[in-house]
């Protein structure tokens, strides 16, 4: 029987995460999300909520956020590390 065990819970995003990327050495991971909001007539609007699309860089050795990438005016659908780190 296969079982799974949670190794680390990364908390910090308040919305759905659409992009995750590991750094080459596996010590850091970057994640980004696209905010989703509802307006009064129940229409779903994705990535239209202003300056609250946030990326994060996580240090997997400590389990903590190493850097917050804020100020994006559009949703973050892709994120990656440059080859030189």
DSSP assignment letter at 61: T
Q: What is the pLDDT of residue 13?
A: 67
pTM value?
0.65
* 85 residues of the chain, pLDDT tens digit each: 778 887 766 676 666 777 888 898 889 988 887 665 555 555 545 544 444 578 889 898 888 889 988 887 777 888 888 887 6
Q: CA 57 → CA 34, 37, 42, 66, distances in Å? A: 16, 24, 33, 5
30 C-beta neighbours (distance < 10 Å), count = 20
- pLDDT of res. 15: 66
């Amino acid at each position: 029987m296969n079982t799974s065990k949670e190794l680390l819970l990364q908390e910090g995003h308040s919305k759905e995460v659409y992009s995750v990327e590991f750094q080459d050495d596996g010590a850091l991971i970057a994640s980004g999300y696209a905010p989703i909001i509802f307006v009064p007539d129940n229409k779903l609007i994705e990535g239209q909520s202003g300056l609250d699309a946030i990326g994060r860089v996580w240090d997997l050795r400590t389990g903590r956020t190493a850097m917050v990438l804020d100020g994006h005016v559009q949703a973050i659908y892709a994120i990656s590390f440059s080859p030189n780190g």
